[in-house]
Structure 1
Amino acid sequence: MRAVACPFGNVERFRPRGIAIGRSLLPREWAPLPIARYARLQSGARTMDALAETLNWLYSLEARGEIYKLERMETALSLIGNPHLKLAAVHIAGTKGKGSVAAMLDSCLRAAGLRTGLYTKPHLVNLAERTRINGGEIPARVLLDYIRRLRAVFEGAGLGLTFFEFTVALMFLYFAEARVDVAVIETGLGGRLDSTNVVRPFLSVITPIGFDHMEYLGYTIPAIASEKGGIIKPEVPVVIGARDPEARTTLLSIAAQRRSAVRLIERDFHFASHAPAHRIDYQGLGLRLDGVEIGLAGPFQHENAAIALAALEAMRTQGWSISEEAIRRGMREVYWPGRFDVVSRSPLVIIDCAHNELSVWALLESLDVELGQDVRPRLVFGCLADKDWKRMGELLGPRVRDVVLTRVKPKRPLDPENLVPVFSRYAPTRVEPDAVKAIDLVMNESGPDDVVLVTGSVYLVGEIYGYFLARQGRTGLFPEADA
């Protein structure tokens, strides 16, 4: 197994009021990086990339919006040999934690010696990171080849796919042709009509469910759970990590209708946290593991780890050879950026993709446990217009020292001026529309003992990652997969 290292160094386990960070690739002391140099690095990476023209075409497909009809995906995939039917897949849906669970599963399966494919959405820094084999993102020249091949096929057939449909088709073909042993596939939105839901998994996983994307999934927990539960397949086992009573009732009903064996959190598997130490004790139907170390910070990852362990236990009962040693190693070495991720030592900079009420609560719990309730970070915040930004502001505002509001690009940005009345009730608040200038401003003003928190949107997090990666002359969070 090739471990996938955090480009900023694997952070040693946090301790409240006494954080130790080790093996960072960043300098111990932060030094200002001129905005002009950052722009040149990013621009140079783009202009040198042979993918530029092809990616511009691919991103132009976003103008078609989203079309939720699985028949379109089935038609497209039939033109390229139905690669999705050649995969042994684990399919994951949920409101919170599905990416972390997917990353944990992938890490443990690689530790067990399996060749894995991992598909997650959205990407943070570059498109290639969505589609990874054995921890490495699809190489640029391979991605270019697949886009050109599929474009010729689909345009030749007069099939106008959306951006997401195209990238999902590319993922299925890449994994099938690479002959991965297991494909771990995260849904994009919902589940029932998500483009990934043409896959025929041997195991389904549903993580905690809450309110998000209501305009597409519904405005009640049962409605949202029904959409997420659409990934449950007839007679295919399912792991359910939802705790909400209405969500559980809905999901159990769907599973019963489809005769799917269920492993339900708090009924069939349990965990006990050892906070602030990043370890849990796990008890399943036939597997007990004490003191499992988790390589991701934040107490919210304990529940995600338990869900991943339940999925691994289910796979073991299906005949997959996954040793306890492999499970422990995989959980210890997992890397999943954007979730309470430390990217600088001095000042301490934490990046988190929290973008709804459920994930903001998890972030606040992590701040309390990892840093202590008396630590008040400096906040850089931006979000999309269709999120519950007022509620996020009400939760974050009382917890921070001061706020710099910025604009998220490129999709559905909320004017940061709209956020001022919310945050200014709790802390001194400024607006800097350019996200790179916003983080640069805060970094230059911060002392070595300050804590800086960047959150509010996956897209904002991706842009800020780009800022810090540019300081290292890097353009991505992951290594390339072996060709």
Structure 2
Amino acid sequence: MDQLSKTIDWLFSLEARGEIYKLERMDAALDLIGNPHRKLRAVHIAGTKGKGSVAAILDSCLRAAGYRTGLYTKPHLVRLSERTRIAGAEIPAAQLLDYIERLRAIYERAGLALTFFEFTVAMMLLYFADAGVDVAVIETGLGGRLDSTNVVTPILSVITPIGFDHIEYLGHTIGAIAGEKGGIIKDDVPVVIGAREPDARLVLTSIAANRHSAVRLIERDFSYRSQSPAHRFDYHGLGLDLFDLEIGLAGPFQHENGAIAVAALEALRAQGWNIDEDSIRRGLRDIYWPGRFDIVSRNPTVILDCAHNEMSIAALLETMTAEFGAVKPRLIFGCLSDKDWPKMAAMLGPRVRDVTLTKVKPKRPLEPENLLPYFSAHAPARVEREPMAAVERVMSEIRADDVVLITGSVYLIGEVYPYFLARDGRKGLFPEADV
């Protein structure tokens, strides 16, 4: 095993420490490395659904406008370095090794035992600050108020749609969850709100009012009209009316994410950022965001989608209908034990031809046998416990005109993606940064 592999294994071993939601620890960790977060101009994004897509769209449009961006998203699919990108490219392997080893030495000398997420956030902030990016687009991990990324004071906050997920940490009502997500709203920093639920809107706008944060609210200050399934939408905002915007992501739900991102770009334009209409159009058209209704094969058609809760499964099914009509795909499914898997099975089961159930390897996997009766009520179902064996088995059985859908967990998509990358002669999803 080479040094990079051993060092990354050490970093992942920190997951055994669990998660600790105390920003004082992040403050201490960042103070030890010169407070890099204070050197960044950041856009900070929270929400239940779509925050990764909104982050990726913003990054794409800002790069199209000529800005050198940093982008931080989680989790990764294939390689850890995907989480931390500059100008669309992953942190190079040599630099990743250097940053991990340097920070490990600093924190071990100080006796500061960071969690995995705390460590990766500190590393990301230092990497972006060292590189002198023009703007950093940063996605929260879980929640917002006590999320490790919430040490930044951004130039803009963005809240995407709110729904039920991680209720054991965030609360059992939409209002409570919105309160946690709204914790990223800072004093006198504008916020774009893409939440539609009345309780979420009330909580988020109240937080913004208390913090004197100017609000751009979906359906009040900006709106969109979908042209599904044409991958196009119209946008109407406070200062921009853009028609026939082409978006390089499938699904009507991505039109909403696109509109939230354009509203954020409008807010940045109001602050003096030079983002013209052509940059917005090119950024939307050229967006690349793997694992989101990601068609990785044609003839047969294979779709990878990271849907992992009821909101994202509903969006996935809407996209399937928009893109393929009444077709019933062959489903490969695996999920985590802390999800509402009976409801996910009830949503997916009637819409598929048959199901191969598998076990997601990392983090709280659900035994596929538990899923069997829930899916069997709707379609023929079987168990193939190893994800790669499940993919190989289904791929060996299908015809050129079949459709295969693989979904249920980000971790499942990450496990099977290398199979499809290898078919194209690729090792990773993004190139390494040239820095």
Aligned to 2:351: 399
Percent identity over the alignment is 74
Deviation digits for residues 184-228 of structure 1, max 9, x if unmatched?
Answer: 000000000000000010000000000000111011100100000
Aligned to 2:398: 446
Distance 2:324 2:332 in 1: 18
Higher mean C-alpha deviation, range 302-311 or range 338-347: 338-347
**Structure 1 residue 50 displacement after superposition:** 4.0
Q: Is 1:375 aligned with 2:327?
A: yes
**Structure 1 residue 473 displacement after superposition:** 4.0
Aligned to 1:26: none
For structure 2, the residue ranges without an aligned partner over 5 or more in a row are none
RMSD of aligned residue pairs (Cα, Å): 0.7
Q: Is 1:386 aligned with 2:328?
A: no
User: Could you tell me whether the CA contact under 8 Å between 2:349 and 2:375 is conserved in 1?
Assistant: yes
Distance 1:341 1:59 in 2: 27
5 Å matches for 1:225-240? 225-240=178-193
What is the aligned counterpart of 1:336 among 286, 289, 311?
Answer: 289
Q: Is 1:98 aligned with 2:67?
A: no
Question: Which amino acid in the other structure matches residue 256 of structure 2?
Answer: E
**Structure 1 residue 475 displacement after superposition:** 2.3
Aligned to 1:318: 271
5 Å matches for 1:52-451? 52-372=5-325, 374-451=326-403
Question: Which amino acid in the other structure matches residue 422 of structure 1?
Answer: Y
Question: Which amino acid in the other structure matches residue 480 of structure 1?
Answer: E
Distance 2:125 2:75 in 1: 16
**What is the SS of the residue equivalent to 2:225?**
strand
Aligned to 2:407: 455
Distance 1:111 1:345 in 2: 29
Distance 1:267 1:123 in 2: 34
User: Could you tell me whether the CA contact under 8 Å between 2:231 and 2:247 is conserved in 1?
Assistant: yes
Distance 2:66 2:306 in 1: 30
**What is the SS of the residue equivalent to 2:331?**
strand
Distance 1:105 1:411 in 2: 30
Question: Which amino acid in the other structure matches residue 72 of structure 2?
Answer: Y
**Structure 1 residue 347 displacement after superposition:** 1.0
Distance 1:413 1:284 in 2: 43
The count of corresponding residues between Structure 1 and Structure 2 is: 435
For structure 1, the residue ranges without an aligned partner over 5 or more in a row are 1-46
Identify the structure with bigger relative contact order (alpha carbons < 8 Å, sequence gap 6+): 1
Deviation digits for residues 74-123 of structure 1, max 9, x if unmatched?
Answer: 00000000000100000000000000000000000000000000000000
Deviating 4+ runs (over 6 angstroms): none
**Structure 1 residue 346 displacement after superposition:** 1.7
Distance 1:285 1:59 in 2: 45
Q: Is 1:475 aligned with 2:414?
A: no
**What is the SS of the residue equivalent to 2:206?**
helix
Aligned to 1:51: 4
Distance 1:50 1:126 in 2: 16
Distance 2:338 2:355 in 1: 21
Question: Which amino acid in the other structure matches residue 358 of structure 2?
Answer: T
Q: Scaled by the length of structure 2, what TM-score is found?
A: 0.99
Distance 1:330 1:268 in 2: 22
Distance 1:240 1:471 in 2: 40
User: Could you tell me whether the CA contact under 8 Å between 2:228 and 2:251 is conserved in 1?
Assistant: no
Q: Scaled by the length of structure 1, what TM-score is found?
A: 0.89
Distance 1:377 1:228 in 2: 35
Distance 1:102 1:293 in 2: 17
Aligned to 1:38: none
Distance 2:251 2:264 in 1: 21
**Structure 1 residue 410 displacement after superposition:** 1.3
Question: Which amino acid in the other structure matches residue 21 of structure 2?
Answer: Y
Deviation digits for residues 298-357 of structure 1, max 9, x if unmatched?
Answer: 111000000000000000000000111111000100000111000011210001000000
Distance 1:144 1:286 in 2: 45
Distance 2:308 2:230 in 1: 26
Deviation digits for residues 26-72 of structure 1, max 9, x if unmatched?
Answer: xxxxxxxxxxxxxxxxxxxxx5x541110111111011000000000
User: Could you tell me whether the CA contact under 8 Å between 2:252 and 2:319 is conserved in 1?
Assistant: yes
Distance 1:474 1:338 in 2: 15
User: Could you tell me whether the CA contact under 8 Å between 2:332 and 2:358 is conserved in 1?
Assistant: yes
**Structure 1 residue 476 displacement after superposition:** 1.1
**What is the SS of the residue equivalent to 1:51?**
helix
**What is the SS of the residue equivalent to 1:251?**
helix
Deviation digits for residues 360-383 of structure 1, max 9, x if unmatched?
Answer: 0000000011100x2000000000
Distance 2:264 2:60 in 1: 13
